[in-house]
Structure formats: structure tokens, C-alpha cells
Amino acid sequence: MVAPRIPYVLPFPPPLIHPQNATTLSAAIDAVTSFLESRNIVILTGAGISVESGLADYRGEKGTYRLNRSYRPIFYEEFAGNHEARKRYWARSFLGWSILEKAKPNRTHKSISILGKQGVLNHVITQNVDSLHHTCHPHLRTTELHGTLRTLTCLTCRSLYPRVEFQKTLAKLNPKWAEFLHTFGEAGISDRDYRREANITTNPDGDVDVPGAPYTKFRYPPCPKCLNSNDIKVLVDEQGSHRPSEQLATNGVLKPSITFFGESVAPEAKAEAEEMVDKCGGILIVGTSLATYSAYRLAKASHDAGKGVGIVNLGGVRGEDLFFSKEGKGKRLRVDFGSGDILGGVAKNFGGEVVEKEEGETPVRGGGGIWGMER
């Protein structure tokens, strides 16, 4: 069995700007406006659009995977088959959830909402798991290709649970961690200076690393439905936290409703995204380097069908040499600007209101340690 790996850890080539005059912001906005004039374009978004909301990106401007080079996301087989790996995951996620929960849609999300109301866009496909698209524009159909962190799914009975309630249970099972999180929050969880001084590292998908933290002592609960079932045996300790045995390793294990590395995209999300690309006249790729195959294949499908391919992204993108080769038959667009600047201007060009830039936060990374809990 081939071990799963993180795709594309090396930089992508520089972007291939098209049209060639789209090197200024105003020219780039006009080029994207022209691309969207057919009003039959599906938009595909990635982590880059949520940076202004204070969430961490996966890649830098050169397309390299790890902005924080020491960060390694958990793989599905690790989570499903390793109790210690789950403890570490839920401990870091317990701290990171506060950042995600407080995140608000930014001007990119708001501009997409405006374009949806104007009939310019009628469908969004997103790789993001923060659900900020749903929060900002519930009127605009959105396919969450990689799921959402807002819910959990039981690996045994497939029941869904809200993350908000799960977070409360984690706090009860881990009072010292809850105390630390409370202190962390009071100091300003969105205060990057505090995080820098404290050497606290934020990573994508609601992951927070506190050097020296005793992850092995973290407790997490099992699925309530499985726990109360007569047909499914679930072991818990005296506090009610999960205590798996070798034979019952995954019974009642709750997993975030997202697609981990090494896990297949949910069939219904995959089918819906493919249907939208099949029906559209082109695809506009925003804030993603298309490094994951689930996203790249949608752009390639549009290219292969002779449809339009447009890219709004800072830095290189997978497949640019193909999309902008002589084989490309549909409209082509490539601009190297941030999504907020571009889509805000595009929304205005289509007669929408001006979406002002709000004070955003760039995630901070570091090392060291301030963990005050007893090991």
C-alpha cells in the first residue's frame, strides 16, 4: 500500500499573466469582469480567500505547501486507527476552534454574494472547510468539496453532531485545557502580537500548536448514539472519555466532517461539483494553487471540454502550462492579485456596492513554549 503524501511541497513556476496587460489592479479587474460577462461561470475557491478572515493559508505565494514548515496535517488512517493521534488532533483542534468560530466572512465572500445576487454567479465550489461561504451567502448554492469543520460524523453509525456542542464536552473533559483556552482568549486570540510573544503557532483547518503541551493527557468523547446502543460496544473511562481497545478501535469514534489527506472526497460532493462544471461555460479559480487533485481535476475538466479557465491567485498554480498552452480553446484569464482586491472591483463593475477592506490578520507562526499545565 502506497503511503499518502502531501502534494507539491516544491514551488510552482511563476504565473502566466493573461491578458498580458493585466499587470495593474485596474486592468486585472477589467479582465476578470470580461471573463464573467457570460454569466455562466462556476467559481472554485481555496484557502487563500479566507486569509483576510484571520485563517491560515496552506501555501505561500510561490505555491509551496507549508508556510509553517514544521506543520504536518494528520492523515485519515492515522486518525481512524490511532488513539494517541486522535488525542493530539483534538487537543490542537480544541484550541483552534475558537479562531475558526470567531472568523467572519471577508470582502471576497461578500463580493461573491453580490455577484450571486446580480446573477453573475449561480454556484460556488469551495475547498474550504470554514463554511464562511454558507454564512455569507446562503442564497447562493455552494458545494463544500472537502466538507466542513462545523459538524462531526461518527465513523460507526454516521450520525452528525454540531461542533459547538462537542467543544463544550471537550472543555468539561479537559478542565485545565479549558482554563488555558480561557486565558488565551482573554489575552486576545486574534492578537498576533500576543501569539508571537507566546510562540503559539496557528495552522490551517483550525489547528493550533502550543509547544510543550501534554497532548497525551487530552480526553475526547465517543458518539452518544453508539455509546447508548445495545448493538455497538464502546468503551469509556470513568470520566466518560473514549477508551478504545484493539478490537473496538474505531467504534463510536467521532471525526470532523471534512476530507482528511489520504481520504476520498464524499461521493455526493464530487458528483455535484462535476455536474456544475459540466453545465457551466467556464471555471474561475480563486485563492487556490489547485495542488489537491480533487480541485485540479475540475479545472482540467473545464479545459478538456474547451471551456473557459480563469485564475485569480497570488503565485503559481498547478497546471498553468496546460491551461495556457495552444490546446486551450475557451476563454483564458490569469491575474496575480489578491481575491479581495479583484472581486471587490469586479462586483462594483457589475453595479454592486463597494465592499470596503476591513482590518485583516495574517496568521503568525513560531516555536518555543509557554505551556503552564502540569505534565
Distance CA 291, CA 47 (A): 12
Burial of residue 201 (number of CB atoms within 10 Å: 0-12, 13-18, 19+): buried
How many residues comprise the chain? Answer: 375
- Residue 190's nearest CA partner among 10, 358, 323, 35 is 358
> 136 a known binding residue?
no
Q: What is the amino acid identity at position 147?
A: G
Q: What is the amino acid identity at position 323?
A: F
Distance CA 62, CA 10 (A): 9
> 223 a known binding residue?
yes
> 280 a known binding residue?
no
CA atoms within 13 A on the CB side of 336: 17
**CB-CB contact of 140 with 121 (8 Å):** yes
**For this structure, is 146 an active site residue?**
yes
Catalytic annotation, pick one of 109, 123, 146, 242: 146
Residues 6+ apart with CB under 8 A from 49: 106, 108, 109, 128, 286, 287, 339, 340
> 157 a known binding residue?
yes
Which residue ranges make up the annotated binding site?
A: 154, 157, 223, 226
Which residue ranges make up the annotated binding site for Zn(2+)?
A: 154, 157, 223, 226
Residues with catalytic function: 146
